[in-house]
């Protein structure tokens, strides 16, 4: 068996270009693994109170008028990415969309876009990492297309191999000359190190963090019973989603004027974009701080979250304060745009879209 300190370091996902994380203290916050319905109940109550105050439950749908429902739910990821201007497109990880699920046509589209394997395959509509997979070759692409729901558009995107990943949440109220980064989340990918004797399941169970959220890695299936070779590093998750097991850290202290100016320029080129999160990958945090050498992999609207709240050091009242502030800003921006003559989605319309999105996501394997 590897020594406990090596296991502990592996669990926290040390990567080049990212700040080294300390391993002192508890690996999870008190609420990090709480049931979603319980955790978000106060958030729903606050949303309802603001809906009464502003006389519209769907007002945040006006937070980004050029995005369907403001990006609250059911929006097309590719449509949002296609709104990027010159600065954003320069940083964007290249992608193509596929509807007919024909492998030769998908390969031809990838070739025309200059995108080579490995790639990231993901649904065009969805969130929280549902249906996302890394595809390494033609056979893998065929298997992914075969199990993907017919008639649904999906995205095939260049896999950005840089280790650093972050969520950059940017807000600019209509009429303000410059917005601000209200949240920066650094994302780490937990991993374990094999010893040639112990199964992946046992290594994971012995891990100080992964052992407490083992249900998040159940999707590894039969692989959990395999025995990694001595010294082999096994990454437990490949996507930067907290609900899939990635580790999030509050990186707000690393925000610089240069970073803010860069994302302001990118945001200003998106028509009617006021509120949302850029998911980016980068070679080094120093580069990101200078607003250079990073790749945009997704742009999320009003339904995105300031994910720094999932830092293990965040207290419950701090998490709610952050979420409440985020929702308040979405309502404020929506109110400004409503005063300009725009009409928000109705509560019924928003609920129907949300239910449709959830049913659609349930079809992804």
What pLDDT is stored for residue 168 in this prediction?
A: 98
What domains does the chain contain, in order, with CATH numbers?
4-21+28-32+191-236 (no CATH), 40-92+161-190+237-365 (3.30.470.20), 94-159 (3.30.1490.20)
Would you state the pLDDT for residue 129?
A: 83
How much is the pLDDT for 239? 84
pLDDT for 151 equals: 87
Q: Determine the pLDDT at residue 244.
A: 86
pLDDT value at position 1? 44
pLDDT of residue 2: 47
In the chain (365 residues long), the average pLDDT of successive 10-residue segments reads 50 64 79 92 97 97 96 96 97 95 94 96 91 94 93 95 94 94 94 93 92 89 93 88 90 97 97 96 95 97 95 95 97 98 95 93 83
3-class DSSP string for the chain: CCCHHHHHHHHCCCCCCCCCCCCCCCCCCCCCCCCHHHHCHHHHHHHHHHHHHHCCCCHHHHCCCCCHHHHCCCCCHHHHHCCCCHHHHHHECCEEEECCCCHHHHHHHHHHCCCCCCEEEEECCCCCCCCCEEECCHHHHHHHHHHCCCCCCEEEEECCCCCEEEEEEEECCCCCCCCEEEEEEEEECCEEECCCCCCHHHHHHHCCCHHHCHHHHHHHHHHHHCCCCCCCEEECCCCCCHHHCCEEEECHHHCCHHHHHHHHHHHHCCCCCCEEEEEEEECCHHHHHCCCCEEEEEEECCCCCCHHHHCCCCCHHHHHHHHHHHHHHHHHHHHHHHHCCCCCCCHHHHHHHHHHHHHHHCCCC
């Amino acid at each position: 068996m590897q020594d406990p300190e090596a296991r502990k370091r592996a669990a926290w996902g040390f990567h080049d270009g990212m700040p080294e994380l300390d391993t002192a203290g508890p690996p999870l916050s008190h609420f990090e693994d709480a049931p979603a319905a319980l955790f978000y109940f106060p958030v729903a109550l606050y949303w309802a109170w603001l809906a009464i105050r502003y006389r519209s439950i769907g007002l945040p749908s006006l937070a980004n008028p050029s995005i369907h429902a403001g990006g609250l739910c059911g929006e097309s990821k590719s449509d949002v990415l296609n709104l990027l201007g010159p600065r954003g497109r320069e940083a964007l990880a290249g992608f193509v969309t596929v509807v007919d699920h024909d492998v030769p046509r998908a390969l031809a589209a990838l070739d025309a876009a200059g995108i080579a394997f490995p790639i990231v395959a993901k649904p065009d509509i969805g969130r929280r990492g549902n249906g996302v997979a890394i595809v390494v070759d033609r056979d893998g692409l065929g298997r992914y297309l075969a199990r993907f729901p017919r008639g649904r558009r999906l995205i095939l995107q260049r896999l950005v191999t840089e280790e650093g990943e972050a969520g950059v949440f940017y807000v600019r109220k209509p009429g303000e000359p410059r917005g601000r980064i209200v949240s920066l989340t650094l994302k780490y990918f937990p991993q374990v190190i094999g010893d040639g004797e112990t199964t992946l399941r046992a290594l994971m169970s012995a891990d100080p963090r992964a052992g407490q959220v083992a249900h998040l890695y159940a999707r590894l299936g039969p692989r959990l019973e395999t025995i990694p070779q001595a010294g082999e590093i096994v990454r437990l998750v490949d996507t930067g989603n907290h609900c899939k097991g990635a580790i999030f850290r509050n990186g707000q202290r690393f925000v610089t004027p240069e970073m803010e100016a860069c994302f302001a320029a990118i945001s200003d080129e998106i028509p009617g974009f006021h509120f949302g999160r850029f998911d980016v990958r980068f070679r080094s945090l120093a580069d990101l701080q200078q607003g250079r050498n990073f790749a945009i992999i997704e742009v999320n609207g009003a339904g995105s979250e300031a994910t720094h709240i999932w830092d293990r050091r965040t207290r419950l009242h701090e998490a709610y304060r952050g979420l409440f502030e985020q929702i308040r800003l979405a309502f404020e921006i929506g109110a400004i745009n409503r005063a300009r003559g725009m009409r928000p989605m109705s509560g019924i319309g928003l609920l129907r879209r949300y239910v449709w999105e959830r049913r659609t996501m349930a079809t992804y394997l």
